[in-house]
Amino acid sequence: MTRPDKNSARHWWIVTAINKMCQVLIPVFLLIAFCWILYDTGFNHFQTNDATVNYWLSLLLPGLVIMMGLRWLAGIFEKRKLRARLISLGLWLITICCYVVLLPLKRSMVQHDSNLYLLYKILLYTCISFVALAELSLIIRFSPRKAPNSALLFVASFALMVLLGTLLLSLPYATHRGLSLTDALFTSTSAVCVTGLAVTDTAREFTVFGQVILLLLIQAGGLGIMTFTGLLSYAITGSISFRNELAFRNMFLSNKLGNVMHLVSRIVLVTFFFEAIGAAGIYFTTGPELFERKLDKLFFSVFHSVSAFCNAGFSTYSNGLYHEGLRFNYSFQLLIALLIILGGLGFPITFNLFSYIRVKATNGWWRLQRRGKRIHIPRLININSRLALVTSFFLLVTGFIAYLAFEWRGTLQQHPSLWGKMVTAFFGSVTPRTAGFDTVNISGLNLSTVMIYLLLMWIGASPGSTGGGIKTTTFAVAVLNMTSVVRGKDRSEFFNTEISAPSVRRAFAIMLLSLLVIGIAVFLISIRDGDKGLIQIAFEAFSAFSTVGLTLGITPELSGLSKLVLVLTMFIGRVGTLTLIMAFVKQQQQLYYRYPKEDITF
């Protein structure tokens, strides 16, 4: 921002005063408008024309239009960046559109057509919510620079999402009969932490409004609210604060600061791309007999695509994918499994594979054209990608074979064809990897299969993904270190690369902390619900910590204390035990001393 010369000092102070006024009034107006939206959707019937709501919105929106217009004009006089002026102009135009959409609602011009009225309201509330989120991004962007470390910022963002979700799910029209505070907190935590454990029937208890809230919580929890607000902030201002950049680097495992926002943008685009493709595939692989309207089928497709890619495991059917119309739809199950694998693979690994395919395709094209040049990038597939891919492939194959062996005369008997058994076994190998969907009766699994599920749930997905667990690379590093110890080697190696000592220490710390958290959860749940059985309780604890969502059927029957224990377990499992500890423990700087070394007897 360039300050004018002394002859324009008066204009400068006028512009500054306008800016300060807009910075205060715009968030206040948007907050009030958002509260009225919550009232209309949560306490009032969404499809009725409430004159009070329309009256207050008709007063607030013109004020917003004036304030945002003044801010845009002030930006011109301050000579802000072109991007900032264009985004400010765009938000102003969206606000004007909101007021234009409100006019027929206020005058009841579309009341005779319920579908048109519903469309108008959805457009109005979506636009206002988008503008509010953009303004929230600006507040975060220009918040005080002296802030907690990036780990605490990451944990706090998830905690705020859980609390906001609890408030929204507690609204009267989110459910048919209302939720207790404990059940609302449990469901919100399960959605934000993309777990899938449920204490109520999502299909029967939640209204369409409540299911939309669940969908938004799953999407925000899968990517993180910091991703959306940080991306909007970057789009509006053209820059990002250093502390937020450090937080993004830790969230998405990036070693460089300069390309963090580029990485965040790619993550959001890739996520929406896969979810859109998945929703289209689900729409065409499900029959019309399952739905009353095409709109219901569309919502089902979008909900399950987002839930699958984010590894959430929520479904709009009471029996999940075990529903009669879905349990034998094998093409639908393969599509869901593919979305689960893509979401659990991890964004850094996905981008690494994209780079590998792009380089190979370019070199192949040049070879066909007989050009002499070629792209050569040493170690294009890095060690993290190799570890995650090899481990994921091994776990999928092992789980598939084990499921076929242990369930051939069990849950697979209801599938008469060999193809049906193969697809069901493959899906049964994919879903414990933090997904939580079930195409069979989980309570009917053999004990051997349950033990395999415990291992698969504990390992979980790959780092940098929407899934949970201790992560595939953690398990792989531990196995490599054990192999090195057995063979008498003083280092761990993989694909001609030595695993660093800090990585080995971190892997064993993560494994120990995970078992400690799960053990404490099992102990606390057994205090009030010991009659449920050790296997059932342990399965519940493993599922909660690894954000899987599978259950042997005891979740709705648990006491309030046990539900709160699972809430904490899900939250710790989602943010990570080490991340949670690092958020509150001061990190040591480099140590400039060493004590004498001694070998410990084991």
State the pLDDT at residue 115. Answer: 62
Instruction: Answer whether residue 570 is part of any domain.
Output: no
CA separation for the pair 164, 184 (Å, rounded)? 11
State the pLDDT at residue 146. Answer: 47
Instruction: Answer whether residue 455 is part of any domain.
Output: yes
345 near 338, Cβ under 8 Å? no
Instruction: Answer whether residue 456 is part of any domain.
Output: yes
Residues 6 or more apart whose Cβ sits within 8 Å of residue 100: none
Instruction: Answer whether residue 183 is part of any domain.
Output: no
Half-sphere exposure for 478 (CA within 13 Å, toward CB): 14
State the pLDDT at residue 229. Answer: 53
Beta bridge partners of 499: 492
Domain endpoint, select from 96, 121, 142 = 142
pLDDT beneath 70, residues of the chain: 1-12, 44-51, 75-87, 105-119, 136-151, 224-264, 370-378, 583, 586-589, 602
Domain range for residue 53? 1-142
Domain endpoint, select from 97, 116, 142 = 142
CB count, 10 Å around CB of 477? 25
534 alpha-carbon distance from chain centroid: 31
Instruction: Answer whether residue 546 is part of any domain.
Output: no
| Residue 85 CB burial class (10 angstroms; 0-12, 13-18, ≥19) | middle
State the pLDDT at residue 257. Answer: 47
Please state the domain count of the chain. Answer: 2
468 near 548, Cβ under 8 Å? yes
Instruction: Answer whether residue 551 is part of any domain.
Output: no
Which residue, 157, 151, 125, is CA-closest to 61?
A: 125
CA separation for the pair 243, 67 (Å, rounded)? 30
353 near 307, Cβ under 8 Å? no
Per-residue 3-state assignment (H helix, E strand, C coil) for 20-74: HHHHHHHHHHHHHHHHHHHHHHHHCCCCCCCHHHHHHHHHHHHHHHHHHHHHHHH
Instruction: Answer whether residue 94 is part of any domain.
Output: yes
CA separation for the pair 316, 346 (Å, rounded)? 26
309 near 275, Cβ under 8 Å? yes
Instruction: Answer whether residue 308 is part of any domain.
Output: no
Domain endpoint, select from 121, 142, 163 = 142
